[in-house]
């Protein structure tokens, strides 16, 4: 009754409202989202499982794509796919004799929305809920953002990745737009981000693809996108406002 009568009844519209507020508050531009989308597409071209494998995207392609809910365009939205992910969890002792090297769960955290959902997606809710989850995650793992060799951050809608970067402490609040520029999040960059293509370019697996990629990276099974000496990788799933969960996996116990 609060949103539908005014035509604001889809989740992409709610994300668009929050992103519009973010741009107004922090002076960010669409170039921030373009950097994220282009990085994900580039990484997907090293991932044979990705929906957009062998389908590169240019800066012009991104900016020429149609609006879905302004200021979010087609390539700010993840791609629905049919797929599945299976995670086998056991003790470290049993994992020692497995054919493939295991990934060790160093810590985890989860959180729910700070207030009733589906009435509004206020930007401050993203900040509050995302920060709460990140504090739990780092406390559980005994590690922090500076210890991560890569980050697999939920990108069902492109702005969510920026919110998670800030909430998890990879950059300061309001600085996500500049943080992702100039190759910093590329496979060879300071913080490789969504190394498999993310939901934007591998396909929507509701965060499970992010966890699977974190495991692949620390166990040396990420094929052509494999990072050198990936010791610790975090995967965070879900919209920061609605709910979220995160895990840190490591190469060593």
Task: Give CA–CA dist 162/3, Å, rounded.
Answer: 25
Position 11 scores a pLDDT of 87
Helix (H, G, I), strand (E, B) or coil at 69: strand
Helix (H, G, I), strand (E, B) or coil at 37: helix
Please report, in tens digits, the pLDDT of each residue of the chain (253 residues total): 777 788 888 889 989 999 999 999 999 999 999 999 999 999 999 999 999 999 999 999 999 999 999 999 999 999 999 999 999 999 999 998 999 999 999 999 998 776 655 556 788 888 888 899 999 999 999 999 999 999 999 999 999 999 999 999 999 999 999 999 999 999 999 999 999 999 999 999 999 999 999 999 999 999 999 999 999 999 999 877 667 899 999 999 9
Nearest CA to 225 out of 245, 198, 247 is that of 198
Position 167 scores a pLDDT of 94
Position 243 scores a pLDDT of 73
Is residue 152 a contact partner of residue 40, using CB atoms and an 8 Å limit? no
Nearest CA to 49 out of 235, 187, 253, 216 is that of 216
Nearest CA to 212 out of 107, 53, 83 is that of 83
Q: Which pTM value belongs to this model?
A: 0.95
User: What is the number of residues in the chain?
Assistant: 253
Is residue 252 a contact partner of residue 104, using CB atoms and an 8 Å limit? yes
Q: Which domains does the chain have, with CATH numbers?
A: 4-250 (3.40.47.10)
Task: Give CA–CA dist 60/45, Å, rounded.
Answer: 18
Task: Give CA–CA dist 219/121, Å, rounded.
Answer: 37
Task: Give CA–CA dist 123/240, Å, rounded.
Answer: 10
- Residues 6 or more apart from 177 whose CB is under 8 A from it? 26, 28, 29, 31, 32, 162
Cα–Cα–Cα angle for 109, 115, 119, rounded to 5 degrees: 125
């Amino acid at each position: 009754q609060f949103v539908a009568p005014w035509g604001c009844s889809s989740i992409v519209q709610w994300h668009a409202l929050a992103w519009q507020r973010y741009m107004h508050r922090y002076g960010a531009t669409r170039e921030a989202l373009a950097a994220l989308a282009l990085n994900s597409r580039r990484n997907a071209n090293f991932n044979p499982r990705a929906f957009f494998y062998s389908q590169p995207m240019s800066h012009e392609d991104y900016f020429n794509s149609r609006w879905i809910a302004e200021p979010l365009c087609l390539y700010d939205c993840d791609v629905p796919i049919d797929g599945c992910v299976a995670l086998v969890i056991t003790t470290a002792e049993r994992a020692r004799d497995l054919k493939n090297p295991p990934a060790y769960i160093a810590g985890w955290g989860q959180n729910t929305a700070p207030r009733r959902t589906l009435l509004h997606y206020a930007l401050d809710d993203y900040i509050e809920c995302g920060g709460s989850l990140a504090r739990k995650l780092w406390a559980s793992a005994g590690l922090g953002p500076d210890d991560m060799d890569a980050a697999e951050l939920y990108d069902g809608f492109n702005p969510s990745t920026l919110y998670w970067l800030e909430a998890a402490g990879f950059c300061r609040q309001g600085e996500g737009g500049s943080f992702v520029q100039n190759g910093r999040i590329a496979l060879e960059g300071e913080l490789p981000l969504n190394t498999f293509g993310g939901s934007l370019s591998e396909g929507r697996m509701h965060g499970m693809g992010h966890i699977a990629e974190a495991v692949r990276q620390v166990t040396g099974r990420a094929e052509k996108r494999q990072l050198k000496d990936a010791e610790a990788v975090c995967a965070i799933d879900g919209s920061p406002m609605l709910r979220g969960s995160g895990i840190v996996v490591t190469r060593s116990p």
